[in-house]
Structure 1
Amino acid sequence: MKTQRDLPQPNQALLSQLEQIAKGIGETFAPFCEVVVHDLLDPQHAILSIHNNLSGRQVGSPATELGLARIADPVYPQIIANYDNRFADGRRAKSTSIGIKDEQGRYVAALCLNVDLNMFGTLQNMLTQFCQTGSSAIKETLDPANGETLHDYIDKFAASRGKTPQGLKARERRELLAELKQAGYLEVRKAIDTIARHLGVSRATLYNDAKSALTLP
């Protein structure tokens, strides 16, 4: 909901621009985030507008404790971010309050964001439930010859010879490719690219090795 009173000069332009910022933030983070514009020059009727009203307050409601603290103390922190808060009905909220000063350094307004954590808690519970799997001991991967599996196979092959994958000689690479061919790994899409990168050789070199891999004596 948006309602805006007539604003006194010289702060009308500032508050009008702040209202546009609040509107944009509210539209971006709806429906999870309430965005409130406070006119601190009128603390008894401080709330100028509320977007995504989650707190049940009304335009024209008085300033909050933070607003009154800023009115009383110009050196009060200008940004207080992500502090724990509560809506009137007890729902948890995460709030951020940004004080706006005029040219004289006086607080004239505040932009406040209140995120309803209960909404995210419900969503988190739904996602947790959705991602749960059964207790069956069966383990399966739908891509047994993926990049990580290839890397592990190559690493173990190289380690058995006391080398790194990049240190394998041409004959050893051919032996490796023969094993991978027999295990079905070379049938996987882009397997040659994955293996070449892990061995630190070009695709052309590995293709030449692959051609002779099955003709080893």
Structure 2
Amino acid sequence: MTSSADALLAAHAATAEAVAALLHPHAEVVLHDLASGRIAGIWNALSGRRPGMESLVDDVPGDGRVFGPYEKTAGDGRRLKSVTAVLADPAGLFCINLDVSQFDAAARLLSAFSGAAAPRPPSLFAGDWREEINTALHGWLRERGLTVPALKRGDRVALVAALDARGLFLTRNAVDHLAGLLGASRASIYNYLAAARRSNQKDRTP
């Protein structure tokens, strides 16, 4: 090992080891000695490289810069997400190669379970007025980037007006159900509904 590599390890080996320990076994950490063009140290060697092997690094920009995250591919085809910091005195590169292939697999698995395989059969749920209110409520919230706790009175009146326009208060227990969803009283929902209908009536008045 060259003196430049020894100096690089003395300055950065503890940091490299800490990062590798935190991300084990999913990340490889590599210290490249630019003076010798070789690997000074490597932790969690996913790539099969060893200290002393050639770095195979071309032209390196000025020190103090961080590059990435960028994508790389491991020898076995795994997708890696990498970041490189340029070091000075001694000159080197601090590289972290994170194996994200398992995260990709997990994302596909979650998507398979959470995604709807087919449309909801209309005939089975035609009478499910609770589901209709749930869907309409949360669709209205998503469109406006709102949450139930953040709703002010004006928002609640507008929401009730939208539900009323869809005929969702024709069901006997709809007010009770919506009151439970909003954490409001039945009286409050009736007040919002009355306000919404008064406003709608004014809009229709020539």
Q: TM-score range by the shorter chain?
A: 0.5 to 0.7
Distance 1:134 1:92, change over 3 A: closer
Question: Per the alignment, in what secondary structure is the counterpart of residue 110 of structure 2?
Answer: helix
Question: Residue 27 of structure 2 contacts residue 99 of structure 2 at CA under 8 Å; is this kept in 1?
Answer: yes
| Counterpart position of 1:130 | 113
Instruction: Please state if 1:47 is matched with 2:40.
Output: yes
Same amino acid, percent of matched pairs: 20
Q: Which runs of 5+ in 1 are unaligned?
A: 161-178, 196-204, 211-217
Query: Among residues 144, 148, 155, which one is paired with 2:138 in the alignment?
Result: 148
Q: Structure 2: which 5+ residue stretches go unaligned?
A: 141-155, 193-206
Superposition pairs of residues 1-217 of structure 1, within 5 angstroms = 12=7, 15-44=9-38, 46-50=39-43, 52-66=44-58, 69-70=59-60, 75=62, 78-102=65-89, 108-135=91-118, 137-138=120-121, 145-146=133-134, 147-148=137-138, 154-156=160-162, 182-187=172-177, 188-189=179-180, 191-193=182-184, 206=188
- Partner of 1:95, secondary structure, is strand
Aligned partner of residue 189 in structure 1, secondary structure:
helix
Distance in structure 2 (CA, Å) of the matches to 1:116 and 1:80? 17
Q: Which amino acid aligns with 1:156?
A: A
Give the match for residue 166 of structure 1. none
**TM-aligned CA distance change 1:53 to 1:155, over 3 Å:** farther
Question: Do 2:37 and 2:57's aligned partners in 1 also have CA atoms closer than 8 Å?
Answer: no
Moved more, 149-158 or 91-100: 149-158
User: For the structure 1 residues 101 and 126, does the alpha-carbon distance in structure 2 shift closer, same or farther, using more than 3 Å as the test?
Assistant: same
1: CA distance between counterparts of 2:4 and 2:77?
A: 36
The TM-score with structure 1 as length reference comes to 0.55
Residue 169 of structure 1 is matched in structure 2 by none
Report deviation, 1:190.
5.8
Q: Is the 8 A contact 1:192 1:206 kept in 2?
A: no
Q: How many pairs does the alignment contain?
A: 167
CA RMSD of aligned residues (A): 4.3
1:15-63 deviations in Å (ceiling 9; x for gaps): 445223222322333333211122333324x23132x221111122222
